[in-house]
Structure 1
């Protein structure tokens, strides 16, 4: 998890605010990068990794605690621990999907196409054997996943692992943020069973191209995968709007 940890705790910009730290940690929890029950680093160490003061970190942790994402225990074996539901409620994700317009979904996909396409190309060029092994394994994990929580974790980790393989912290941070923004909306009850299999096949094809060190093919497949997901999200959006009678 070293690459993922680097993406999470890289120093913030000069405006290192508590809310931005809270967003980073929330993303990591939602995507399963921080596991349920995992102890966060000691306050001074964690603050130094973010490049902020302990007071700023304390404010971020308090916000996460208020939202039920972490808990603080006292005593010898105390600390701050992650509280992550293995089966996240799809309600908030579906409400967000219904509220977005098709133009907003397309705008998100435009950014994701640029990030995912470049990441896949660079991963094909820069992946170590262990990166490739992990990417192939995560593609298989999605195909075998049977619950929403497992699919969200396998899907997001697959794309993040590709970004990690590029050796670019900036690309990895953007992929983490995009996965946190979109993956929950994709894996909802609106998604037909036939699409589940197609997504798994798309992942395997991207992984195979990276393994073959074919950057052009890997990038092209990754970009098409994002376009396919845009279609899936747009279909889900309209299905939700039709069901609720909300304006489009």
Structure 2
């Protein structure tokens, strides 16, 4: 695979081979998730066409049709030249009040929060049961370290990557796919509330405890820490949005 393999690896929880018959639609859905999740930040470049088509299991012709739709919708732009490629267009810094109301009205907040808790707690317990070692353990540690090192404007993207990594390491492609979808809905809501330093410090403490429990093979603690972490986020969202 060409390009930065570490960068491409970060997208594997979301980008996976599509099923025959709906290649265009499923490829579009997956790349939209990458954009909505912020896995490629505004101004950042998507993987090379060759890498994307390989990850998705589609032809480059189909991929270009997908990218054309995204470009027509103003979500990406194509640049030519040595440093060219397909770049994600920056999103607005924060939603206006009308956009906030639209986002909140478009989802069942309680449903999103409950489903997120079930998936994350289950993923944490599964990871602990597998006693992650070697490259898998290093991936989890690296994802955690990236959240600790994140500048405030980039925190949510790295937090998303941390949780997606945990979901992927659980070993269930279906769980990882469902989690990517619910996380996209969650991020739409999180974008409507401010980043609170005190809350982020608490979240980081919980993240560390979660990784320690997973790597120690302590599924009960991993599940409990995850549920507490999800409850904190839920409390903030309910307070600001309901």
Please confirm whether the aligned pair reaches a TM-score higher than 0.5, indicating the same fold: yes
- After superposition, the C-alpha distances for 1:125-175 in whole angstroms (9 at most, x for unaligned) are 332333333333433443443423x11112101101111222322222222
Q: Distance in 2 between matches of 1:138 and 1:11?
A: 24
TM superposition outliers: structure 1 runs of 4+ over 6 Å: none
Answering whether residue 59 of structure 2 is matched by residue 41 of structure 1, we say no
- 1:74 is displaced (CA, Å) by 4.5
Contact 1:90–1:188 (CA under 8 A) maintained in structure 2? yes
Quote the residue 1:23 is aligned against.
29
Quote the residue 1:151 is aligned against.
155
- 1:69 is displaced (CA, Å) by 2.9
TM-score by length of structure 2 reads 0.78
- After superposition, the C-alpha distances for 1:32-87 in whole angstroms (9 at most, x for unaligned) are 434644354336x7446434455543332112112333222446x486412253x7
Quote the residue 1:120 is aligned against.
124
Quote the residue 2:140 is aligned against.
135
Q: Output aligned runs, 1:83-122, within 5 Å.
A: 83-85=88-90, 89-91=93-95, 94-99=100-105, 104-122=108-126
Which stretches in structure 2 are left out of the alignment for 5+ residues? 1-5
Change (3 A) 1:96 1:20: farther
Contact 1:8–1:28 (CA under 8 A) maintained in structure 2? yes
TM-score by length of structure 1 reads 0.76
Q: Distance in 2 between matches of 1:144 and 1:96?
A: 33
Counterpart selection for 1:173 from 143, 155, 177: 177
Answering whether residue 68 of structure 2 is matched by residue 82 of structure 1, we say no
- 1:212 is displaced (CA, Å) by 1.6
Which stretches in structure 1 are left out of the alignment for 5+ residues? 239-248
Change (3 A) 1:117 1:14: same
Change (3 A) 1:56 1:42: closer
The SS at the match of 1:8 is coil
The SS at the match of 2:217 is coil
Q: How many residues align?
A: 232
Quote the residue 1:186 is aligned against.
190
Answering whether residue 85 of structure 2 is matched by residue 71 of structure 1, we say no
